[in-house]
């Protein structure tokens, strides 16, 4: 074991830490030095969205000490940034220890003289974003690890616009957190009078906002018996999604009972992620048994949404995040236009790894479409930049996230469920389905097919392996993929785009990010990006082809699937 790690362990054994923590360290010293090393080999990084990690003892784990120290650093930065009264809002999800972490966060802020609004019990992450803006807070925190496995928890930090931290605040908060050298630097208690408990009144304001997003409320009323199956996957969605659907008039909503109770152990799933077919399998079975119109699932903190529908062959399938996004973007553009409430300065925002089909649709309707780095904080940052000049309508990314309307600044599965059900109602009123609408769009704009390969590399060596993979692609970009020339390399870390055929280069006007994109001559796109919150590297594939009518859809989709499979095999990512 390296001496630097030994010193950290000694600091915890001899420092002002509780006896239970010290006993756990001693047990690991005797029985599992590998786990002990992993628990202390680094500080749990205050990264792209705050903290996220496995729960347990140590500097590289989520525990009361890492949460308290992070909060003290955040509090110090808030006091440097603002004068007068400083208010913060705090929420948490259903995970084990989330309530305890939220209360520790509240107590540390309050002990620093900051006014705290703490939710009475678990609430969706998007409601926290809304609350920051609604109450005029300077910051906020939600204790959640989103869709990660049950061993994880996290701490998402927000700024006064209701968005997660962006430059310069992210780096500045990190710097303040790093200055907290010891748990003795943390003000743990003494300001309890600064804490106000909130709940139902904020729920009501938030649900009114969700209802206001409806473009065709009259169709929702007409199609009130739309057969909806919903699963909160043991998470916070149960607190607000059923009420949101009720407010639009939907009265035929069936909750997946096996997954309705909030439970941080997620007993029916391995990963509480609506992207996973296994996670949605109980909901799919219920939707099939009921012959439902639509299935929806939200992750533990209700910021991601999964959608199940019947395809053109009558089989139940899950839409991928790109399909959900393009349907929603198209609806918000097209429905507003048909209703006559669109504005000439309407804009939509997506991320650089989300389907290019959205750009094509937006261009067709004369709506500005902007591309930003992965993460809703970048969508929020652009909204802030464009405020007063352009009218934000909808934003989203391929990882099952949507942000509809201007009242929140993070992805929101509660409002997404409401709008997706409205979309299904509108199509049903036409005698159609969401899937048939998808094929209509493919026929009009081209069939875009996307896929994702996610490779996990855990532990100390994992980070090095991921960095090595990225460096190899960066220094030796492929010249051909699947027999097609690679014509452009976009390097968002170096902020340079390059034409690999002519040698011409240009600046990429986005913040630095460790992302590489290869553009092929046939307009296929391959992106590589290490995750900012998990020990993973993700590869995104996008291919497309024209179809003349619906009859060509299934065969063309198979051809595109095979193309993606060949690319994955050629790049040795199987």
Instruction: Give the integer Cα–Cα distance in Å for 319 and 275.
Output: 9
Whether 79 has a pLDDT exceeding 80, the answer reads yes
Whether 443 has a pLDDT exceeding 80, the answer reads yes
Residue-range domains of the chain with CATH = 1-41 (no CATH), 44-204 (3.40.120.10), 225-445 (3.40.120.10), 447-570 (3.30.310)
Q: Hey, what are 435's tokens? A: 């899937």
Instruction: Please give the pLDDT value at position 44.
Output: 87
Sheet strands (E) in 144-244:
152-159, 195-198, 228-231
DSSP letter assigned to residue 277: T
Give catalytic residue positions. 146
Asked whether the beta carbons of 107 and 186 are under 8 A apart, the reply is no
Instruction: Please give the pLDDT value at position 329.
Output: 98
Whether 490 has a pLDDT exceeding 90, the answer reads yes
What percentage of the chain has pLDDT greater than the value 70? 99
Instruction: Please give the pLDDT value at position 83.
Output: 95
Instruction: Give the integer Cα–Cα distance in Å for 291 and 76.
Output: 55
User: What DSSP element (H or E) covers 169?
Assistant: helix 169-178
Instruction: Give the integer Cα–Cα distance in Å for 273 and 251.
Output: 26
Provide mean pLDDT across the span 264-288.
96
Whether 269 has a pLDDT exceeding 70, the answer reads yes
Q: Between 360 and 174, name the one with better pLDDT.
A: 360
Q: Which of 54-63, 348-357, 449-458 has the lowest mean pLDDT?
A: 449-458
Whether 480 has a pLDDT exceeding 90, the answer reads yes
Instruction: Give residue-wise pLDDT tens across range 192-242.
Output: 999 999 999 999 999 999 999 999 999 999 999 999 999 999 999 999 999
Asked whether the beta carbons of 372 and 379 are under 8 A apart, the reply is yes
Instruction: Please give the pLDDT value at position 457.
Output: 83
Instruction: Please give the pLDDT value at position 462.
Output: 83
Q: What is the DSSP string of 46-81?
A: -BTTEEEEEBSSSTTSBSHHHHHHHHHHHHHHHHHH
Instruction: Please give the pLDDT value at position 48.
Output: 61
Neighbours of 192 (CB within 10 A): 11
Provide mean pLDDT across the span 109-134.
98
**Confidence bin at 533 (pLDDT 50/70/90):** low
What contacts 461, CB < 8 A, 6 or more positions away? none
Using a 10 angstrom Cβ sphere, with 0-12 exposed, 13-18 middle and 19 or more buried, the burial of residue 434 is buried
Whether 535 has a pLDDT exceeding 80, the answer reads no
Provide mean pLDDT across the span 307-324.
96
Instruction: Please give the pLDDT value at position 140.
Output: 98
**Confidence bin at 463 (pLDDT 50/70/90):** confident
The CA–CA distances, whole Å, from 509 to 245, 370, 386 equal 40, 12, 16
Instruction: Please give the pLDDT value at position 460.
Output: 66
Instruction: Please give the pLDDT value at position 536.
Output: 87
> CA nearest 294: which of 423, 461, 482, 172?
423
**Burial call 85-114: b when 16+ CB within 10 Å, e when fewer:** ebbbbbbbbbbbbbbebbbbbbbbbbbbeb
Instruction: Please give the pLDDT value at position 54.
Output: 94
What contacts 168, CB < 8 A, 6 or more positions away? none
Instruction: Give the integer Cα–Cα distance in Å for 90 and 34.
Output: 35
What contacts 336, CB < 8 A, 6 or more positions away? 215, 342, 346, 393
Give the full edge-to-edge strand order of the sheet including 228-231. Answer: 253-255, 228-231, 294-298, 305-310, 316-318
**Confidence bin at 354 (pLDDT 50/70/90):** very high
pLDDT, mean over the chain = 95
Instruction: Please give the pLDDT value at position 534.
Output: 67
Instruction: Give residue-wise pLDDT tens across range 21-38.
Output: 999 999 999 999 999 999
478 φ/ψ angles, rounded to the nearest 5 degrees? -65, 145
Provide mean pLDDT across the span 126-144.
98
Whether the upstream peptide bond of residue 168 has omega within 30° of 0, thus cis, is yes
**Confidence bin at 381 (pLDDT 50/70/90):** very high
Instruction: Please give the pLDDT value at position 230.
Output: 98
What's the helix, strand, coil split of the chain in %, to 5? 40, 20, 35
**Confidence bin at 280 (pLDDT 50/70/90):** very high
Provide mean pLDDT across the span 118-138.
98
Whether 46 has a pLDDT exceeding 80, the answer reads no
Instruction: Please give the pLDDT value at position 1.
Output: 77
Torsion of CA 208, 213, 217, 219, to 10 degrees: -140
Whether 529 has a pLDDT exceeding 90, the answer reads yes
Sheet strands (E) in 1-159:
50-54, 87-92, 115-119, 139-143, 152-159
Instruction: Give residue-wise pLDDT tens across range 385-436.
Output: 999 999 999 999 999 999 999 999 999 999 999 999 999 999 999 999 999 9
């Amino acid at each position: 074991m390296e001496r630097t790690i030994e010193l950290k362990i000694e600091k915890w054994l001899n420092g002002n830490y509780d006896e239970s923590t010290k006993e756990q360290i001693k047990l690991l010293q005797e029985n599992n030095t590998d786990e002990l090393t992993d628990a202390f080999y680094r500080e749990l990084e205050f990264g792209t969205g705050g903290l996220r990690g496995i729960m347990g003892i140590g500097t590289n784990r989520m525990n009361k000490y890492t949460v308290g120290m992070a909060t003290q650093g955040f509090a110090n930065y808030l006091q440097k940034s603002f004068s007068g009264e400083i208010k913060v809002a705090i929420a948490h999800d259903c995970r084990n220890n989330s309530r305890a972490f939220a209360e520790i966060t509240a107590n540390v802020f309050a002990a620093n003289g900051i006014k705290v609004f703490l939710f009475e019990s678990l609430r969706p992450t998007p409601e926290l974003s809304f609350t920051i803006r609604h109450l005029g807070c300077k910051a906020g925190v939600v204790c959640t690890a989103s869709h990660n496995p049950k061993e994880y928890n996290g701490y998402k930090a927000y700024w006064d616009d209701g968005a997660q931290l962006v430059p310069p605040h992210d780096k500045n908060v990190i710097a303040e957190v790093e200055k907290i050298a010891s748990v003795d630097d943390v003000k743990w208690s003494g300001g309890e009078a600064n804490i106000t408990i909130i709940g139902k009144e904020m729920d009501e304001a938030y649900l009114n906002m969700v209802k206001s997003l409806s473009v065709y409320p009259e169709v929702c009323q007409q199609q009130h018996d739309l057969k909806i199956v919903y699963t909160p996957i043991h998470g916070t969605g149960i607190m607000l999604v059923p009420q949101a659907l009720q407010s639009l008039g939907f009265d035929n909503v069936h909750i997946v009972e096996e997954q309705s109770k909030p439970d941080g152990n997620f007993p029916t799933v391995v990963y509480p992620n609506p992207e996973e077919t296994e996670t949605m399998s109980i909901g799919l079975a219920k939707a099939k048994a009921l012959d439902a119109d639509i299935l929806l699932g939200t992750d533990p903190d209700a910021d991601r949404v999964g959608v199940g529908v019947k395809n053109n062959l009558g089989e139940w399938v899950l839409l991928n995040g790109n399909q959900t996004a393009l349907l929603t973007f198209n609806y918000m553009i097209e429905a507003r236009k048909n209703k006559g409430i669109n504005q000439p300065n309407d804009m939509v925002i997506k991320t650089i790894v989300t389907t290019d089909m959205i750009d094509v649709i937006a261009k067709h309707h004369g709506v500005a479409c902007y591309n930003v780095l992965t993460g809703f904080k970048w969508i929020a940052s652009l909204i802030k930049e464009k405020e007063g000049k352009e009218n934000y309508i909808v934003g989203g990314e391929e990882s099952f996230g949507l942000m509809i309307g201007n009242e929140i600044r993070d992805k929101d599965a509660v409002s997404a469920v409401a709008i997706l059900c409205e979309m299904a109602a509108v199509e049903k009123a036409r005698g159609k389905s969401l899937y048939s609408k998808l094929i209509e769009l493919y026929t009009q704009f081209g069939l875009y097919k996307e896929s994702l390969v996610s490779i996990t590399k855990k532990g100390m060596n994992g980070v090095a392996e991921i960095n090595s993979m990225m460096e190899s692609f960066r220094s030796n970009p492929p010249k051909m993929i699947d027999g097609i020339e690679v014509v452009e390399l976009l390097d968002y870390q170096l902020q340079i785009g390059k034409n690999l055929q002519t040698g011409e280069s240009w600046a990429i006007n986005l913040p630095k990010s460790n992302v590489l994109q290869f553009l092929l001559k046939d307009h296929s796109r391959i992106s590589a990006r290490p995750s900012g919150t998990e020990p993973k590297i993700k590869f995104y594939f996008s291919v497309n082809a024209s179809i003349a009518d619906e009859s060509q859809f299934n065969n063309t989709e198979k051809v595109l699937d095979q193309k993606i499979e060949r690319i994955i095999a050629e790049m040795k990512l199987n």
